[in-house]
Structure 1
Amino acid sequence: MQRRTLLRGAAAAVAAQAAQSFAQSSAQGYPNHAVTLIVPYAAGGNADLTARLFGDALGKALGQPVVVDNRAGGGGAIGANVVVNARPDGYTLLFSAPSVFSVTPHLVKVNYSTASVRPVCLVSKTPLVLVVKKGSRYKSLADVVTAAKAAPAGVAMGYSGLGTPNHLAMLNLEAVAQVRFNGIPYKGSGPMLQDMLAGQIEVGADQISTSRPYIESGDLIPLAVFGSKLEALPEVPSVSTLGKEPFDVTTYLGIAAPSATPDALVAALQKAAGTALQDARFTTGMTKLGALVQGGSGADYERLMRTENEFMAQMVASGRVKQE
């Protein structure tokens, strides 16, 4: 018995040493070819635009091309599945909001969990706004809430897909205002905004980065900000005027890797990401989008996942959210 215990201990030590050696050698030669950023959302949206800006900067920092690959669908689950099942070698990464792991599993059936991924870092944050078409009967946040209270599920609100931060923003507003909306999920902000401009839906929850051109042209009117008030929209109130917000619904984006990715590779990625976040072209591009550079550790990404997961668990328990 003692001999078997010693042998098992020796085998475990050899395995651990081999894993450490592999990680060190992988990091030393990393990367030696292109890195792929999987974006689990449609092209043209906030995450896609940010990923392409950041990918260019990250590629310069790594010394290898960074390719953005859109794999939209399933509330981000399709893209997430690609990454969690990829080799943990640092060449296939996810660029997304933490909600892909904390919100989507409460809405659709997925084959992964928060344990399937290793958060690497945060990259950006983008405020969300509640918008209506020019000439809408809704002139204020109070108008929207009053209408929703008068006709439960009668006010159609568009958002960019199940499990997205936009969906989370709508659920947040429902919780704060104690109302229900007729939520309409789209495959990205682009289709949702086109339907809004065409008069197909009345209200939308969207990132300022994609709504901004229409706000500046006067075609869309912002009625509220999901989070802190914006310096760029000083007259637009926060949903916090309705009561205490359950959590921050600002859109955070970052990088995540397969759960078995070695520490040395994660450290190499974090170092390169830190350099990329200071890239002048990236920071200028983010300013033009109306988004903010937001560095943060893997622990920060994980904290956001945990907070969102707890909120969604409450929504499920209350009956406000059901898995499809």
Structure 2
Amino acid sequence: MRQTRFKTWKLGALMGGLLSAAAIAGPAMAADAGSFPDHNIQYIIPFGPGGESDISARLQQKYFQDITGQQLIIQYMAGGGGAVGWSQLNEMDGDGYTIMGTNLPHIILKPMGKDPGFKTEDLKNFFYFHYSPDALIVKKDSPYKTLDDLIAAAKKAPGSVTVSGSGTQSANDIANRRFESMADVKTTYIPFKGTGAAVTALLGGQVQAEWGYTTTAANHKDKVRMLAVAADERHPLFPDVPTFKELGYDMTGGAYRGMAVPKGTPEDVTENLSSLFQQINQNPEFRQKMENLGFVLINVPYGDVDEFMAEQKQAYEEVARSMGIIE
């Protein structure tokens, strides 16, 4: 199987540019925010509660209200690994008062297989704000103390090691398939409706391991242990956890999270929403909270989304071929 490196978006240069732009254009951005929104915004998470999308949305709520005086009202529309929500987004009012979380690789991979009810290009993404590196996680009392322990068990009895994850054709599904190929093992991957449900299955003993993220481990520090993380470098919150690359597996990747509006939403409103959430992402207090939870912040505003999505689609198409989703 050909291994794919997932490109990390232009963190340094882009962040510097955005922060400089914010310093210069801050008053103009604030003026725009003053006229929109003038009432609460519905923020739909297309997964169940408790996962990374929900956690970050909850953190964004305070700062959105600080900037606009309005609230983000979080609702859930779980099902189909996000497809239930994304397939209905363009039927909703395109007035800027309904936004929906979007996730990569989900929104790219799902339409490559059977029809999930939406196409990637039909989703009007306006901002991508973070990603979380993949991580293989077990309970603290697991007999698997190291990645080698889990691999040995999987080799001894193929399919006996059960692993939870957030849906099919998700970042977790990709991570498991890539890992199986590189380690030459076979596990039993069990998809759940979101990361919250996947970690609950692990903690409840329904599975022996979970494909989660650094955020999952940060949120359950006293209950779980990461065996390895799919990043170029060790995460600062977990300096003792090796990367897959250190252990001999050239594996990096994770889940990117952003937001979209119905396709009919006016351009000026879409730009305004993008600016509002950029302001939140640049807030030092918010950034610290996110980093403490294991997130890696990025800034992909509306004007850069097309380029970002094109790069991601190219990378995920290679993975899709290896997974047999496309020929």
* Post-superposition CA distance 1:268-295 (Å, at most 9, x none): 1122122222335533432442223322
Q: What is the TM-score normalised by the length of structure 2? A: 0.78
Structure 1 residue corresponding to 2:216, chosen from 199, 210, 216: 210
Whether 1:233 aligns to 2:238 is yes
Deviation at 1:43, TM superposition (A): 0.6
Alignment correspondent of 1:276: 280
Structure 2 residue corresponding to 1:109, chosen from 90, 115, 118: 115
Identity %: 27
Structure 2 residue corresponding to 1:137, chosen from 143, 156, 163: 143
Deviation at 1:158, TM superposition (A): 0.7
Whether 1:81 aligns to 2:87 is yes
Q: How many residues align?
A: 293
Alignment correspondent of 1:254: 258
Q: What is the TM-score normalised by the length of structure 1? A: 0.78
Q: Are residues 198 and 36 of structure 1, via their aligned partners in 2, closer, same or farther at CA, if it must alter by over 3 Å?
A: closer
The AA in structure 1 aligned to 2:53 is A
RMSD between superposed Cα atoms in Å: 2.9
CA contact (8 A) 1:99 1:305 kept: no
CA contact (8 A) 2:163 2:211 kept: yes
Q: Are residues 180 and 260 of structure 1, via their aligned partners in 2, closer, same or farther at CA, if it must alter by over 3 Å?
A: farther
Tell me the SS of whatever aligns to 1:180.
coil
User: Which range moved further: 99-108 or 73-82?
Assistant: 99-108
Tell me the SS of whatever aligns to 1:87.
coil
Larger Rg: 1
Taking the TM superposition and a 5 Å limit, the aligned residue runs for 1:47-66 are 47-66=53-72
* Post-superposition CA distance 1:208-243 (Å, at most 9, x none): 22332433x2x3221000223212212211122433
* Post-superposition CA distance 1:61-104 (Å, at most 9, x none): 33432211111110101121232332332221122323231123
Tell me the SS of whatever aligns to 2:88.
helix
Distance 2:308 2:173 in 1: 16
The AA in structure 2 aligned to 1:54 is Q
Alignment correspondent of 2:301: 297
Tell me the SS of whatever aligns to 2:64.
helix
Deviation at 1:181, TM superposition (A): 2.2
Alignment correspondent of 2:129: 123
Structure 1 residue corresponding to 2:161, chosen from 155, 162, 166: 155
Q: Are residues 96 and 316 of structure 1, via their aligned partners in 2, closer, same or farther at CA, if it must alter by over 3 Å?
A: closer
User: Which range moved further: 81-90 or 146-155?
Assistant: 146-155
Deviation at 1:107, TM superposition (A): 5.5
Deviation at 1:307, TM superposition (A): 5.0
Alignment correspondent of 2:267: 263
The AA in structure 2 aligned to 1:144 is L
Distance 1:166 1:302 in 2: 24
Distance 1:104 1:41 in 2: 15
Distance 2:114 2:48 in 1: 18
Tell me the SS of whatever aligns to 1:126.
strand
Structure 2 residue corresponding to 1:30, chosen from 36, 51, 65: 36
Alignment correspondent of 1:18: none
Distance 1:28 1:233 in 2: 41
